[in-house]
Amino acid sequence: MEVDMLIRIACIHGNCLGDKKTALLYAEKAQQINPGHATLLDAYASAGIAYEPWNFENKFFDSIDNFNSLPEYSEKPLPENDTDVTEYQEFVFVSPNPFNPLTTFTYSINETSPVRIDIYSITGQKIVTLVDDVINPGTHTVNFDGSNQATGVYLYRFVSNNLTKTGRLLLVK
């Protein structure tokens, strides 16, 4: 939980306050605790630095703090076409998080599947459905615009044939 909070503070300083120096300070503190935490990608990006967490051990992989974990790093080459995508792990990744006011959902599916992405308030009220369609295999993106929403924690739910994932989003205005 400490790593998650340090990363969120780094993102707030870098993305919302424009203070990249302080963002880097908090990103480095989080990196010292768990260098493989997936959202360090966002923390360092908010400081203007590229960081690849998949090159490090994630010390707390089974922890609830890893609600936005990246797919496992693989030495396999990326697929050249959609027919090769079945060799890859399905995933959902949300970035940036915290966000203001836009965040992007990147997801990958291995087979044609109905896909649904819903956003909920912390009290469980559905805010919006981002995707509710049959989607072809491959990697796709969709944006969530929180400009009409209040600052706070939101939940998302992603559902496809082979993957169901729920996670938290933090909107900071």
Q: Do 48 and 102 belong together in one domain?
A: no
129, β-bridge pairs: 118
CA distance 130 to 92: 14
Distance of CA 162 to the CA centre of its chain: 19
Task: Identify whether 77 is part of a domain.
Answer: no
CA distance 145 to 37: 26
CA distance 42 to 98: 9
pLDDT confidence of residue 80: 53
Q: What is the dihedral of CA 146, 171, 22, 1, to 10 degrees?
A: -150
Whether 146 and 132 have beta carbons less than 8 Å apart is answered as: no
pLDDT confidence of residue 171: 93
Q: What is the pLDDT of residues 113-168, one digit of tens each?
A: 999 999 999 888 999 999 999 999 988 999 999 999 999 999 999 999 988 888 89
pLDDT confidence of residue 1: 59
Confidence of residue 51 (pLDDT cuts 50, 70, 90): confident
Q: Do 101 and 128 belong together in one domain?
A: yes
Q: What is the pLDDT of residues 11-33, one digit of tens each?
A: 888 877 788 999 899 889 888 88
Q: Do 87 and 129 belong together in one domain?
A: yes
Task: Identify whether 74 is part of a domain.
Answer: no
Q: Do 89 and 55 belong together in one domain?
A: no
β-strands 138-145, 102-109 pairing: antiparallel
Which residues form the domain of 21? 2-66
Whether 119 and 130 have beta carbons less than 8 Å apart is answered as: yes
Average pLDDT over residues 45-64: 70
Q: Do 16 and 87 belong together in one domain?
A: no
Q: What is the pLDDT of residues 76-109, one digit of tens each?
A: 444 455 444 445 578 888 988 889 999 999 898 9
Task: Identify whether 118 is part of a domain.
Answer: yes
**Number of domains into which the chain is organized:** 2
